[in-house]
Amino acid sequence: MSESVSRWNSENRKQLDGLLDRTPGQAVFDFDNTLIHGDLGEACMYYIAFQGLVRADLDEFWKEISHPALSQKELDRIRAGWDRNQAYDDMQSHLEWVDDLLGLYDRLLEQAGLEDAYRWSRSLFGNLPERELRNIASYVFQDETRLPIGFEELPSGRRIPRGIRIIPEIHELIQSLLQSGWTVRIITASPEPTIQSVIHHWNLEEAAVRGMRLKRQDDLLLPYIEEPMTYGPGKVQAIRELDSSPIDFAAGDSF
């Protein structure tokens, strides 16, 4: 294995060397916080919100972001803020509105759990052309890799993470697996096109990625998930649909 992989501690290094000496099999990795430090799906969601690309002009959007953990009174207040912001161009008001919108996502993470929050995010990615989302993901990935790792503070004091880094040990492990004849697949709860847009950095084909799939109307992504959702048990089901072969190695924060 390469020098980068030698950063593993001796026990992990021994296990990985043994893995590569075996008959090649199927290896499955998470993407966010596994192949990279950070979460590209969330970073794209933040970008879409900050750039005013959320399709909040559609009545459908406000129906889709409703959730039992979110009060209708709060949703009505945020919608009223959106309507006010359309009457005049005020950057501070827009920033405060984005702060409120992202607060809904944070609340779902805390009160309803990861899967509900990830499913809810479909509303922010929906009604965008897939080509546009791919361009956004490529731009955000490049931009975030140049930013220092840290946080950006919003008006409410809410902090959102900034800075993405490729994790060299995992990158080199994937290259070693590929060179040894392994099949490598990526399973992620992020929207599938966002990860497919950058997966070439690991010398993987887009077909190796299975993410949250949104239904489509031509090139337009709709705010509806094509099941299974790639989280929890749905991850295993999605992998099985790609390849029924045994999973010989799995790595990630949700496996």
| Domain's final residue, options 137, 162, 187 | 162
- Which of 112, 129, 162 finishes a domain? 162
Does one domain contain both 66 and 150?
yes
Distance CA 209, CA 79 (A): 35
pLDDT one-digit tens code per residue, 16-36: 888 898 999 999 999 999 999
| Residues 227, 35, 142: CA angle, nearest 5 degrees | 95
DSSP string for 186-206: EEEEEEHHHHHTTGGGGT--G
Q: Are residues 195 and 146 in the same domain?
A: no
Per-residue pLDDT reduced to its tens digit, 176-194: 999 999 999 999 999 999 9
Spatial distance between the Cα atoms of 78 and 87, rounded to a whole number of angstroms: 15
Same domain, 33 and 74: no
Q: What is the pTM of this model?
A: 0.94
Q: What is the CATH number of the domain that holds 207?
A: 3.40.50.1000
223 and 210: one domain?
yes
- Residues 146 and 46 grouped into a single domain: yes
pLDDT band at 6 (very low <50, low <70, confident <90, very high): low
Query: CA-CA distances (angstroms) from residue 221 to 26, 146, 199, 206?
Result: 30, 29, 20, 18
Domain co-membership, 127 together with 56: yes
pLDDT recorded at residue 1 = 52
**pLDDT for the residue numbered 17:** 87
Overall domain count for the chain: 2
Q: What is the extent of the structural domain holding 92?
A: 41-162
